[in-house]
Chain A
Amino acid sequence: MTGDRGGAGDAAVRVRDLRKGYVVHEKEPGFLGSLRSFVSRKSRVVEAVRGVSFDLAPGEVVGFLGPNGAGKTTTLKMLSGLLHPSGGEVRVAGFEPGRRENAFLRQITLVMGQKQQLIWDLPALDSFLVNQAIYEIPDAQFRATMAEFTEVLGLEGILKKQVRKLSLGERMKCELAAALLHRPKVLFLDEPTIGLDVNMQESVRAFVQDYNVRHNATVMLTSHYMADVTALARRILVIDRGEVVFDGDLARLAEQGGGGKTVRLQLRRPATPEELGRFGSEVRVDGLSAELTVPRALVSERAAALLAELDVADLTVEDPSIESVMASLFGARAGQAGQPERTPEPA
């Protein structure tokens, strides 16, 4: 996928050696520090993005992960034309985003979970009408899109309430609808589910998936919630300190990150951690249940040994949770499945 603009096999997004440096001001803590920095500012250049390259095919959904400050938002902002790169090349839908041509802006959207574009004092429908005028959406298409979104997102009954009276979840649904009203071909979603409860997260996920399938849209997604990423994206891009450290499918990320699989045991007779330690590492025992990590290459051998030597009622082998993979990728303490508060801030 290296064709030039206009060809049929074009990448929806093409990024080569993308770079961005910021000038930041440094300030000592406290009032004296503030005073000093008011008088003379110390500044230095921080390289937020350092030579990022990748391609996205039309219709592809990619999860974009990395710890806080890794350069995810900066990259998304360069892809949507809000920031000018300090170096490298970007093409989105055949356009150079930094030029912010109207034809380009009509094909993309950027959803930011922590910012809102809806008019606070008016019902969401009014904001939609403003966007209809801005994007010059024909009435028929507007009605069709509204009908589709109302059904998939369950907007019935909340469109005519003032935005300030909506719950966070309802508001986020409306934000998504407002951002996708013009049926963009490329979606940049920055934390679209942040702060939402599990049900709302799921309906946002279902909506993004439905939109992706229905309109063959390319989606690039960052999220704090691994469930978003695992549910939507087959391909994962991991960025750390401004560089892409992984680009591939979910399963391969698990291999590269953990290098091991999780074996869960249901025992008929209790076993000590020492006993189990012969079969793998990171052993946890809780009554008759136990869990241990086994190197990928040795899984079948160790499983057979476990079954032969212990009184095992049940044995399952699982890929490690993406949380623990991310944690080991970034050298943090190993996360544990089912404990989302240990999530290593992937967005």
Chain B
Amino acid sequence: MRRYLRLVRIFVGATLSAQLEYRANFLGAVLASLGEVGVALLGISILFGQPGVTQVGGWSFREALLVTGFFMLTEGVISVFIQPNMSKIAEAVRTGNMDFTLLKPIDAQFNVSTRNLNVLRFPDLLIGLGLIGYAASGLEVTPGGALAAAVLYGSAVVIVYCIYLGLSTTAFWFVKTQNVTELFSGVFGAARFPVAAFPVPVRFVLTFVLPVAFITTVPAQALTGALGGGLALASPLIAAALFLGTRWFWRYAVASYTSASS
């Protein structure tokens, strides 16, 4: 375990130094972050902006803003930690550089998941946390609620990671998978609103088929104390099941790896 923490430190150091090589990129990344938050805020201001609307699906403006905050935070987690690594999987399979990863005496899944991070999208994390803080300041939040939200958000990150890894792992057979992760991004866009804002059938899909509800709505509900025990328990269980499932899938993919010829 300590060995892997040390490796993370080394990997982070290397990827940070590599990105400092390209300073001009930074401005573009900041603009992208501001664009994201703009779109998200525009969405809920349209929902709540009509005269006389104070609630959507039982969610007040502040509560909905909380969901937007978790959405932005998750966007940040994806663009800083998850996507930079996952997009490299398909590339490595296509070029054959996956060979080097598989020849290293460390866990290959750990290796592909921790080698890169996109420091430029770091502001997304701050914007997300800021939105959550602002929204929560106008709501009643108990310490127990905050703790539950933190734990459930942890599960949410695991769920997102697993979905991304599962989709990216298909690269071992399909080689190019960019469109598959785009598909996830599209569906994930629904998470910027509370699931209650959607019609019942869509809500069902977003909760049980694609567990998008667990990523933003569930932690937000936990923070405001509006979460039932069933969903609170379901989230970590789903995260654990997905983690074991994708780990099995990853190993299966590696075992059937055919490697690009030189």
Contacts and interface: CB of A to CB of B under 8 A. Distances in A.
Nearest to B111: A134
Interface in B165-205: none
Interface string B1-43: 0010011001100100110011000000000000000000000
Contacts of A109: 103
A119 interface: yes
Contacts of A114: 262
B262 A115 contact: yes
B129 interface: no
Interface string A86-115: 000000000000001011011011101111
Interface of B: 3, 6-7, 10-11, 14, 17-18, 21-22, 95-97, 99-100, 102-106, 255, 257-259, 261-262
B17 A115 contact: no
Interface stretch (A122-130, A248-256, A257-265): A122-130
B259 A77 contact: yes
Interface of A: 22, 73, 77, 80-84, 100, 102-103, 105-106, 108-110, 112-117, 119-122, 126-127, 129-130, 133-136, 162, 190-191
Contact of B105 (A122, A134, A190): A134
Given A122-B14, A134-B7, A80 B103 contact: yes
Given A80-B103, A136-B3, 6 more contacts: A82-B259, A102-B105, A121-B22, A122-B14, A130-B11, A134-B104
A105 B6 contact: no
Contacts of A129: 10, 14
Contacts of B105: 102-103, 105-106, 134-135
Contacts of A127: 14
B259 A117 contact: no
A109 B99 CA distance: 11
27 contacts: A22-B258, A73-B261, A77-B99, A82-B99, A82-B259, A83-B258, A83-B259, A105-B103, A105-B104, A105-B105, A112-B262, A113-B262, A115-B95, A115-B96, A115-B262, A119-B14, A119-B18, A122-B17, A126-B14, A126-B17, A127-B14, A129-B10, A129-B14, A133-B10, A134-B105, A135-B104, A162-B21
Interface centre among B6, B18, B102, B103 (most CB of A within 10 A): B103
Nearest to A190: B262
3 A-B pairs with the lowest CB-CB distances in the bound complex, closest first:
A102-B105, A105-B105, A117-B100
A134 B6 CA distance: 9
B35 to A, nearest CB: 26
